[in-house]
Amino acid sequence: MNVPPGEDAEFGNAQLTIRNLADFDFSRVDYALFSAGGAVSKEFAPIAAAAGAIVIDNTSAFRYDDDIPLVVPEVNAHVLDGLSGGCIIANPNCSTIQMVVALAPVYRGGYYPDQRGYLPVGFRRRTWAG
């Protein structure tokens, strides 16, 4: 459904007035969730962050940006410690999230594949010196 700004749209049992995102005051929100495509995120996520919002971006727009944390809460939530407003957080796509959640315990346990890329039955635990 594509409703132009200024008109109403039905959502559940409510009527909502559609507003233009370019006119939105992001200083009124603590968290801004973006999932309307990479182009929208690239344009408006920095504006929202500059206004003090914590932006959680669900597109590919910031996934490869070294200055923006790529977070899967079940795996590396610690990177969010001390986080305050005015930032962008990226997350991987849906299939990658599931894979990372499943593989994180293997990685944390120090189990690594052999030279061919196989994890042998019973695994082999890699030990760290020091």
Residue 121 confidence (pLDDT):
52
CB neighbour class for 53 (10 Å; exposed up to 12, middle 13-18, buried from 19): buried
Say yes or no to pLDDT of 6 above 70: yes
Structure letter (DSSP) for residue 6: T
Q: What is the pLDDT of residues 37-64, one digit of tens each?
A: 999 999 999 999 999 999 999 999 999 9
- The pTM assigned to this predicted structure is 0.75
User: How much of the chain exceeds pLDDT 90, in percent?
Assistant: 58
Query: Would you say 14 and 36 are in contact if contact means Cβ atoms under 8 Å apart?
Result: no
Looking at every residue in the chain, the average pLDDT score rounds to 86
- Of residues 27 and 104, more confidence is placed in 27
